[in-house]
Structure formats: C-alpha cells, structure tokens
C-alpha cells in the first residue's frame, strides 16, 4: 500500500536532488516517488544532540536566542513532524539523546526548561545521551519524573540500589502501531557516563550487544517484525552493532554529531550495513544543534524485511514553518536572558579562526587559547607553569567584538571548578597522548594548553603520537618536558577527577587554592586584559 508523503517533505527531497527546477509540485512529487520508490511503509523523522539549541543555530555556528532568522530550532522541527503526522499514519519521530547542555538557555534555566519544551515536542520516543548526566543522577531523576508525552527508553540502564535513578521511568522499548504494523523501538542510552559525565557510582549498565539480542527476542515473541534501535553511542559503534546482531532493521543514533549525506566523510544517508544473517541494516544520524531533521522512508516485505529505502538529513532553514507554541516559549525564555546578553564582560579585537564545539576538537582554537590563558593567569599566584583544558569543555566559540556574560555562559556552561595540581612531566605527556588517542587524533579529549606546546604525528598509532612537548615561560622561552620533573598545572575539576578517562590526572599533588568556577576565572581575565590581543598560537602542531 502506497502511503502519502507530506508535501513539505517531498519538496525537501526534490530540492536536495536538484531535479525539480521549474516542475510543478505535483510533477515534482511524482518524479520523486518514481525516482526513490518511496512507498513509505515507515517514515522516520529523527534528530540527535540538540544540546538545548532550542532557537537554532546561526550561519557562524553560534546558538541563537531568536528563532525567526536562524537555521534549525525546535519550533521548526516540531512543525515538520506535526505536518507529517497530520498527513499520514506512517510516521515515527525519534530523538537520540543529548538534549542537555550547550547554550545559555540551559546554563540559566537547566533541565526544567527542557522538560517544558518536551511537553510540546511530538516525539514518539527518545533515549538518554551522556550530557543528561551532567548535573548528576539526582537531577536526572527529577527530569525523568517530569511530565512528557513520550517515553525515555534505556534498555541497557540498570541502576543499583541507592542510585537516584533506580525507580525512574526508563522502559527498555516501546511498540507503536504504525501503518497497520507493529514497530518496536529499543532504547540504548550512553553507557560511558561513569567516565565522561557526572553519573553516580551506582549507575550501572548491561552489555549493549546482549541487551539488544534479549530485547529483540522479546519483541519478536510479541509478533513485532519491524524493529528500530534508538541509540546514543556514536556512529562507529552503531555500525559495529548493526553488523553484530540480527533482527534490527534501522539504527537511529547520536553522540558523534555525524552528518551523513553528500560530501560527508562519514558516509551516505543512510549507511547500509549487513546483519550476521545478511539482511540490510540502515544506520542514520543527523548532525547536531537542531540544524537538521533526518528523514528516512522505508519499505518492508510481508516478513518484515527491508526492501527499499531513501532519505536525507534535511537542513531546517529560516523560511520553514515554526510551531507557534514552541516559538512563543522560546521568545519568552529568550527575553529572560536579556540581562545576560546585555552585561558586557570584555572585548575581542581579532577575528577568530575555526572554533567552538567542533573546531576545538580538531585543532588548537581561539576559545581554548583564551580560556587556558585565563586559567594560567589565575594559577600564576600559586606558582603554576601551564594550564590544560579538554576540548569537550568548549561548547561554543567566544565571538569577536563585545563579549557578554551570556557568551561566556554559552561557551562554558558546566560551572566546572579550576584547580592547581602538581604533575610529573611523564603524567602530562600521558595526558597529551590520551587527548590525541581518538580516531584521527581528534575529539573532546583533545587538550588545549597554555604554557605548553606539543607536536603531534596523526599518522602514528594511538599512544605514540606525541613527538615533542615543551614548557613555555611568559617570555616565550621553551624547554623540553622532563619526565621526572614536577610541574604546577592549572586544570579543571573534570580533568583532575579523571573524567573522559584522564586517569593519569587523578594522581596529581593538591596545591591549596580557592577553586573558583571556570566562568569566574574567565570574567576576571577579560576584565583585566580587554581588549584581548591575538593569543600566542602554535600550541598544537599537527603533522
């Protein structure tokens, strides 16, 4: 049975294919159905890593507070989903986690704002990312207890006694009647939160693969033949899982902020893997920050096996319709942020290069330079030689021109403490190696530095990529890092506690200091050094 595709979605697809030119909408729709064989037994609309970008993202990658002129935004996402559902009974709308953290909306209002947003979002299911644990298990439990119209799925989450999440409502799966067929959705939340977030020690998980196999068998026993896995474990892990388990047809994922489609280094939309039995498994994700809505149309045979598919990660643009209730909520909360946007705390005279959440994970970045300079400036009174900052701490770029309190809170929303510790040169070297251990020697573990520069050979195997590391004094004089020498280093509490698996940094000697918040250290630095000149660069050299 051919099901109707909403006109808006047809227009999106046609634009992407560049085939519609002067065709009428009807001709375009007809061409598109023939071109992609879109019978659409199941139409999946999905997002991931929205990170509180409720008003969208601007052309420079900064989070917006006014959703009228920006790309993305939850109001546009909600409008597109609601239109699709109004025009067909074949729609499944999914969010793959990391709703928390990333903009001044979250920095000021925290999870209660997102709970209000969720009441208006037409998702059919969601799962938990790692950032949902940023405020700890007690706050996450309160968030999960808030009213919302969709389940938060987490089949692999098994909290132990005395964990605040023990009695939270996180079912392993949900079954929806879609187009006359049962569709099972299994949730697989991020299971690394004991190492990369603020989960309590009693937060426990069961093995991913065994979890999926068990729940798939349970769904099949209920007569469910179409199964979607909703995850927050990253694209490489999703692809591996697709090749390792039978019974799953589609994996909708998040965590790595991957864009799939034309020009992507990560692959086409969808990525097609084969299960152990040889059946196709479609893997999709849709970048981050509400910029894209994934649109995947699928057809199945009578046995529930995929026969054809088509789709794209479609960018939401300013001309797209917005849901009026969500847009009004955004405007209301944006007005409350005026005091943060109006308070100027510094000025940046130069135009930064690649920066922000994505730029800092791949390279030395201006915001990382500014923050580590601020950290080292703070630590000088305690004899500090250098500063280290994990790139995952940077959630947005500090803009050129006047810098507001809101800009600082957007860039550094965690309220992390700044500490001084003593480490050996060997421990610092190990931390640099760990920071470059990810695929392509990039990722949130990449260490931004002040008073320290290092050279990386990205072609070498993980653990052997650092070619040289030097301590650099205030006059620019550099000395090789000496393995047995002790250095006073300014770090965040995130690093000193070993998060992101920086276990070597848990072994530092404590240097007594007040341990202020990162944003307060940055405010003080901006007040004393604005307008900021271009920072010393060449701290990370890649070969």
Q: pLDDT tens across 464-480, in order? A: 999 999 999 988 899 99
Tokens of 213: 């196999």
- Which pLDDT value is given to residue 21? 32
Task: Confirm whether 339 is domain-assigned.
Answer: no
Over residues 36-54, mean pLDDT: 84
Which of residues 315, 334, 353 is at a domain's end?
334
pLDDT higher than threshold 90 for residue 152: yes
Q: Place 40 in a pLDDT band, splitting at 50, 70 and 90.
A: confident
Instruction: Examine the pLDDT at 1 and tell me if it is beyond 70.
Output: no
118 is a domain residue: yes
User: Average pLDDT of 144-149?
Assistant: 96
Nearest to 480 by CA among 455, 456, 461: 455
Residue 5: pLDDT band (50, 70, 90) is low
363 and 472 share one domain: yes
Are 388 and 318 in a shared domain?
no
> Is residue 44 classed exposed, middle or buried when 0-12, 13-18 and 19+ CB atoms within 10 A define those classes?
buried
> Residue 36 above 70 pLDDT?
no
In the predicted model, is pLDDT for residue 6 greater than 90? no
Side-chain half-sphere exposure of 33, counting CA atoms within 13 A? 14
The pLDDT of 222-251, averaged and rounded, is 98
| pLDDT (0 to 100) of residue 26 | 28
Domain endpoint, select from 308, 334, 360: 334
**CATH number, domain at 223?**
3.60.21.10
Beta bridge partners of 487: 423
Query: With 80 as the cut, is the pLDDT of residue 38 above it?
Result: no
Q: What is the pLDDT of residues 80-93, one digit of tens each?
A: 999 999 988 999 99
Residue 1 lies in a domain: no
Question: Is beta strand 250-252 parallel, antiparallel or unpaired with respect to 280-284?
Answer: parallel
Exposure letters 71-86 (e unless 16+ CB within 10 A, then b): bbbbbbbbbbbbbbbe
pLDDT digits (tens, 9 = 90+) for 496-529: 999 999 999 999 999 999 999 999 999 999 999 9
Does residue 530 sit within a domain? yes
Axis-axis angle for helices 74-87, 7-17 (nearest 10): 110
Give me the domain span that covers residue 119. Answer: 7-334
Instruction: Please indicate, yes or no, whether residues 448 and 352 belong to a single structural domain of this protein.
Output: yes
Q: Same domain, yes or no, for 15 and 122? A: yes
Same structural domain for residues 294 and 399?
no
pLDDT band at 17 (very low <50, low <70, confident <90, very high): very low
134, 193 Cβ separation under 8 angstroms: no
Percentage of the chain exceeding pLDDT 70:
92
Per-residue pLDDT tens over the stretch 324-341: 999 999 999 999 999 998
DSSP 379-439: HGGGT--EEEEEGGG--SPPPSEEEEHHHHHHHS-S-PBEEEEEEEHHHHHHHHHHHT-SG
User: Do 107 and 179 share a domain, yes or no?
Assistant: yes
Q: What is the pLDDT of residue 439?
A: 87
Close Cβ partners of 72 (under 8 Å, ≥ 6 residues apart)? 53, 56, 57, 289, 290, 291, 292, 315, 316
- Note the pLDDT of residue 433: 98
Specify whether 387 is located in the same domain as 478.
yes
Give 58's Cβ-side CA count (13 Å radius).
Answer: 13
Please indicate, yes or no, whether residues 144 and 181 belong to a single structural domain of this protein.
yes
Q: Span 396-423, mean pLDDT?
A: 94
Q: Is the pLDDT of residue 373 over 50?
A: yes
pLDDT of 20 > 50? The answer is no
Residues 186 and 204 in one domain: yes
CATH at 358: 3.90.780.10
Name the domain boundary from 306, 334, 362: 334
In a domain, 276, yes or no: yes
Give the pLDDT mean for 148-177: 97
Backbone angles phi, psi at 387, to 5 degrees: -135, 145
Which pLDDT value is given to residue 12?
52
* Assigned domain for 2 exists: no
Query: How many whole angstroms separate alpha carbon 184 and alpha carbon 151?
Result: 13
* Model confidence band, residue 39 (pLDDT cutoffs 50, 70, 90): low
pLDDT at position 535: 85
pLDDT at residue 113 is higher than 50: yes
pLDDT of residue 474: 85
Q: What is the mean pLDDT of the chain?
A: 91
Q: What is the pTM of this model?
A: 0.86
Residue 157 has pLDDT above 50, yes or no: yes
Residue 474 included in any domain? yes
Is the same domain home to 393 and 276?
no
Give every CB contact of residue 95 below 8 A, 6+ residues apart in sequence: 46, 47, 48, 50, 121, 123, 125, 126, 127
Res. 259: pLDDT tops 90: yes
Q: State the distance between the two ends of the chain, measured CA to CA, in whole angstroms.
A: 56
Q: Give the model confidence (pLDDT) of 282-297 as tens digits.
A: 999 999 999 999 999 9
CA distances (Å), origin 203, targets 82, 165, 461: 35, 8, 33
pLDDT band at 8 (very low <50, low <70, confident <90, very high): low
Does some domain include residue 26? Answer: yes
- Supply φ then ψ for residue 374, to 5 degrees: -65, -40
Same domain, 514 and 423: yes
Q: How confident is the model at residue 62 (pLDDT cuts 50, 70, 90)?
A: confident
Give residue 321's pLDDT: 97
Average pLDDT over residues 9-16: 49
Bridge partners (DSSP) listed for residue 205? 157
Distance of CA 57 to CAs 185, 266, 286, 502, Å? 29, 22, 14, 31
- The pLDDT tens digits of the residues spanning 168-190 come to 999 999 999 998 999 999 999 99
Q: Are residues 260 and 138 in the same domain?
A: yes
Instruction: Give residue-wise pLDDT tens across range 374-402.
Output: 999 999 999 999 999 999 999 999 988 99
Q: Select the more confidently predicted residue: 491 or 195.
A: 491
- Number of independent structural domains in the chain: 2
């Amino acid at each position: 049975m051919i099901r109707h595709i909403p006109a808006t979605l047809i227009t999106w697809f046609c634009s992407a294919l560049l085939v519609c030119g002067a065709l009428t909408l009807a001709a375009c729709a007809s061409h598109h159905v023939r071109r992609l064989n879109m019978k659409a037994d199941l139409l999946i609309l999905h997002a991931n890593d929205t990170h509180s970008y409720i008003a969208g993202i601007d052309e420079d990658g900064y989070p917006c507070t006014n959703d009228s002129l920006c790309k993305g935004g939850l109001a546009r996402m909600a409008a597109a989903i609601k239109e699709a559902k109004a025009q067909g009974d074949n729609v499944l709308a999914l969010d793959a986690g990391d709703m928390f953290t990333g903009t001044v909306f979250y920095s000021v209002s925290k999870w209660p704002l997102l709970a209000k947003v969720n009441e208006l979002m037409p998702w059919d299911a969601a799962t938990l990312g790692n950032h949902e644990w940023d405020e700890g298990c007690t706050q996450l439990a309160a968030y999960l207890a808030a009213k919302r119209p969709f389940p938060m799925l987490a089949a692999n989450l098994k909290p132990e006694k005395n964990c605040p999440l023990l009695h939270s409502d996180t079912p392993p799966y949900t079954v929806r009647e879609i187009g006359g067929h049962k569709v099972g959705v299994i949730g697989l939340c991020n299971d690394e939160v004991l190492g990369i977030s603020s989960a309590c020690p009693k937060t426990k998980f069961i093995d991913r693969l065994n979890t999926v196999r068990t729940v798939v068998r349970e769904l099949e026993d209920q007569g469910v033949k179409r199964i979607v896995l909703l995850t927050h474990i990253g694209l490489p892990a999703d692809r591996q899982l697709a090749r390792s388990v039978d019974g799953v047809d589609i994996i909708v994922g998040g965590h790595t902020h991957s864009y799939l489609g034309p020009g992507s280094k990560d692959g086409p939309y969808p990525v097609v893997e084969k299960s152990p039995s040889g059946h196709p498994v479609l893997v999709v994700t849709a970048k981050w920050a509400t910029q894209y809505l994934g649109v995947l149309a699928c057809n199945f045979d009578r046995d529930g096996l995929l026969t054809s598919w088509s789709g794209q990660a479609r960018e939401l643009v300013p001309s797209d319709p917005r849901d009026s209730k969500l847009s009004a909520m955004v405007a209301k909360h944006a007005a409350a942020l005026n005091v943060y946007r109006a308070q100027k705390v510094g000025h940046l005279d130069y135009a930064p290069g690649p920066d922000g959440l994505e730029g800092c994970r791949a390279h030395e970045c201006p915001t990382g330079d500014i923050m580590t300079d601020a950290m080292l400036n703070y630590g000088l009174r305690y004899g500090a030689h250098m500063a280290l900052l994990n790139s995952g701490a940077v959630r947005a770029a500090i803009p050129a021109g006047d810098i507001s309190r809101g800009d600082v809170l957007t860039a550094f929303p965690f309220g992390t403490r700044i500490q001084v510790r003593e480490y050996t040169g060997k421990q610092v070297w190990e931390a640099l190696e760990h920071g470059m251990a990810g695929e392509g020697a990039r990722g949130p573990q990449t260490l931004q530095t002040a008073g320290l520069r290092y050279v990386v050979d990205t072609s070498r195997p993980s653990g052997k990529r650092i070619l040289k590391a030097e301590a650099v004094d205030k006059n620019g004089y550099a000395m090789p890092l000496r393995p047995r020498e002790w250095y006073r280093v300014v770090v965040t509490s995130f690093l000193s506690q070993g998060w992101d698996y920086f276990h070597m940094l848990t072994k530092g000697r404590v240097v007594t200091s007040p341990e202020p918040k990162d944003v307060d250290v940055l405010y003080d630095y901006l007040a004393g050094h604005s307008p900021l000149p271009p920072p010393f660069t060449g701290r990370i050299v890649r070969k």
